[in-house]
Amino acid sequence: MDAFSYLSVLLSIILGLAITQVLQGVRGLLLSRRHVRPYPPVLLWAGTILLMAVQMWWASFGLADHAEWTFAEFGIVLVQTTLLYMLAALVLPDFALHEPADLREHYYRETRPFFAILVAILLVSGFKDLIIDGYLPSGINLLFHAAFAAIALACSISRRARLHEISAVAIAAMVVVYIALLFARLG
């Protein structure tokens, strides 16, 4: 077994837990649907986080060619996946059957930590490229990182509902475009 195959097991477990966290939240939402007050940005973010987890797993295959791993290199990748798990853990509340849940209230209660973690993921992603490849993201990759970070920072500061609603749609669309442009093919 090569080094990456060994190291990728832990990363895959954490990404699997992130996906499970969101899917369990969706399950809870479905089972408690009569008692849940929906809020579309939460649902969009749940889908976006699932897509981000799958993209992170897909992109990790690009690390398979990295021959010599240091603890710092593995650590930065581990931090990135762990932060994504934390984002997944915050997006949906824990549902209790037959108890009311307000997704809007949950969303705004968790806004600051949620978007702080999103910004941290973006910063770690840039540092990951620097630590592993020796350079920061450039071109379209840097442009997407900057746009995601700007939106996340605005959302972490403002509680204006319209901003959050538009941002959820914008980031979901941007993640799709980002994947289509930079990660459509494996390798």
The pLDDT of residue 170 is 98
- Rounded CA-CA distance 178/145 in Å is 10
The pLDDT of residue 3 is 83
The pLDDT of residue 187 is 59
* DSSP symbols for 23-85: HHHHHHHHHTGGGEE--HHHHHHHHHHHHHHHHHHHHHGGGGG--S--HHHHHHHHHHHHHHH
Which position has the token pair 């649907």? 33
The pLDDT of residue 2 is 81
Task: Confirm whether pTM is higher than 0.85.
Answer: yes
100 class by beta-carbon count within 10 Å (0-12 exposed, 13-18 middle, 19+ buried) = exposed
The pLDDT of residue 71 is 95
Report the DSSP beta bridge partners of residue 89. Answer: none
- CA angle at 140 for the pair 135 and 145, rounded to the nearest 5°: 75
Average pLDDT per run of 10 along the chain, which is 187 residues long?
85 97 97 95 98 95 89 96 98 91 97 98 95 92 96 96 98 96 81
The dihedral formed by the CA atoms of 79, 84, 86 and 91, expressed in degrees to the nearest 10: 170
Query: Which residues does 168 contact at the CB level (< 8 Å), separation at least 6?
Result: 40, 41, 44, 45, 48
Query: Which residues does 150 contact at the CB level (< 8 Å), separation at least 6?
Result: none
